[in-house]
Amino acid sequence: MPSPVRSLAFAAVAVAGSLILLAAVAPRWDDGTSGLPQDSGAQDGSGAVDDSGAVDDSGAVDDSGAVNGARDREPNEPAAPDDSGLLAPPPLRPVVAPAAADPAAAAALQAWVDDVFADPRVLDERCALQAPSRRTDVDAEAIAAAVTRPGIADPYAVTWTGDDAIVSVVRSDVASGYACGYVRSSESDPMFGPDDAHWAVVRYLARTGGTPVFPGDSETTYPLVCPGNSPWDPDGTGSGGLPPLQTAAAPSARVDVDALSSAQPVTRVLPGGYLEVSVPAATESGDETVTAITAVGPDGYCLGEFR
């Protein structure tokens, strides 16, 4: 007859074996946390934030404030819509450095710089005194680098100089509180060029035809006739006088045009820095070329006579 101790030992072994078998074949119970991020800091790719504060490439913001999965923009690069269709914040505008001799100049140029960075399309209306090419060919980055350096004033203009651009404003624009910048690449380039002379001629002819290029563009408000501060002598004779358009004998009938041609003007440099501008136009006599003699005045190119 088996002893009681042996029987108990066999029973214990049998129970233990049964428990091991049950553990091997029985299903694991879900405690409700399966599939959730665990304390390891890893994530399942859903875009949820883990313990480190990092996020996936869904575009959510991490602890540093940076957006992951988005292309970095240059400081002056226009904002682009995000996935939601909303525009990202515009780039920060540069602050115009003061010009010691003319405190008002920086504030007047700042208004223009703000438009360059916010929406340069408004320049077409707000800078209508300038040639159209100056309102469309705008290098914001070069302008920013120039205007953040101190400005230098002279009797006719205030200028800010950068490595890749020089920005100048005329005194009359400063007085108005909104100064459109005249931008050039280097000191060797004149502040005013052939496009400016051509635009002065176009504006003058548009006025005489009764259809100014913008409302309020008149000789009283925005003079285009040269003031005669120096003798008018485009032929280099040495015996100049007042510009003919300043005299009663000015040939006003000569500039009575019906329409200007879209053809490019022809310019020719004359002695003394004068610029001859020839513009194709339609007149009562038919198609002809109207030729004006221009010079640089206090506010840019002005007209002295027609030939």
Does 128 score more than 80 pLDDT? yes
As a whole number of angstroms, the distance between CA 185 and CA 46 comes to 51
Query: What are the residues whose beta carbons fall under 8 Å from the beta carbon of 174, sequence distance 6 or more?
Result: 102, 104, 105, 108, 109, 158
Does one domain contain both 154 and 127? yes
Note whether residue 91 is domain-resident. no
Q: What is the mean pLDDT of the chain?
A: 76
Does one domain contain both 174 and 262? no
Q: How far is CA 187 from the centre of its chain?
A: 22
As a whole number of angstroms, the distance between CA 154 and CA 187 comes to 15
Does 31 score more than 80 pLDDT? no
pLDDT digit string (tens) for 172-218? Answer: 999 999 999 999 999 999 999 999 999 999 999 888 888 899 999 99
Does one domain contain both 133 and 220? no
Note whether residue 169 is domain-resident. yes
The pLDDT value given to residue 176: 94
Does one domain contain both 119 and 200? no
Confidence of residue 45 (pLDDT cuts 50, 70, 90): very low
Does one domain contain both 156 and 251? no
Pair 99, 169: CB distance under 8 Å: no
> Which residue range forms the structural domain that includes residue 149?
103-184
What's the structural domain count of the chain? 2
Note whether residue 255 is domain-resident. yes
DSSP SS3 for 115? helix
Note whether residue 238 is domain-resident. yes
The pLDDT value given to residue 302: 96
pLDDT digit string (tens) for 133-166? Answer: 999 888 999 999 999 999 999 999 999 999 999 9
The pLDDT value given to residue 288: 83
Does 63 score more than 90 pLDDT? no
Note whether residue 129 is domain-resident. yes
Chosen domain end from 137, 154, 184: 184
Note whether residue 213 is domain-resident. yes
The pLDDT value given to residue 69: 33
Note whether residue 98 is domain-resident. no
The pLDDT value given to residue 88: 54
The pLDDT value given to residue 91: 59
Chosen domain end from 138, 155, 184: 184
Does one domain contain both 198 and 270? yes
Does 122 score more than 90 pLDDT? yes
Structure tokens belonging to residue 171: 């005194």
Q: How far is CA 126 from the centre of its chain?
A: 14
In angstroms, what CA-CA distances link 93 with 83, 141, 238, 307? 25, 10, 50, 47
Whole-prediction pTM value?
A: 0.68
Chosen domain end from 166, 184, 202: 184
The total of other beta-carbon atoms located within 10 Å of residue 48's CB is: 13
Alpha-helical (H) ranges within 94-193 are 103-118, 123-126, 132-136, 140-147, 171-176
Does one domain contain both 291 and 223? yes
Note whether residue 231 is domain-resident. yes
Q: What value does the mean pLDDT take over residues 100-104? A: 91
The pLDDT value given to residue 17: 42
Confidence of residue 81 (pLDDT cuts 50, 70, 90): low
Q: What value does the mean pLDDT take over residues 69-92? A: 48
Pair 38, 48: CB distance under 8 Å: no
Query: Among all chains, which residue has been given the structure tokens 């091991």?
Result: 20
Does 232 score more than 60 pLDDT? yes
Long-range Cβ contact pairs of 158-165 (< 8 A, separation 24 or more): 158/99, 158/101, 158/102, 158/105, 158/109, 160/96, 160/97, 160/99, 160/109, 161/187, 164/139, 165/139
Does one domain contain both 148 and 246? no
Does one domain contain both 108 and 166? yes
Does one domain contain both 198 and 302? yes
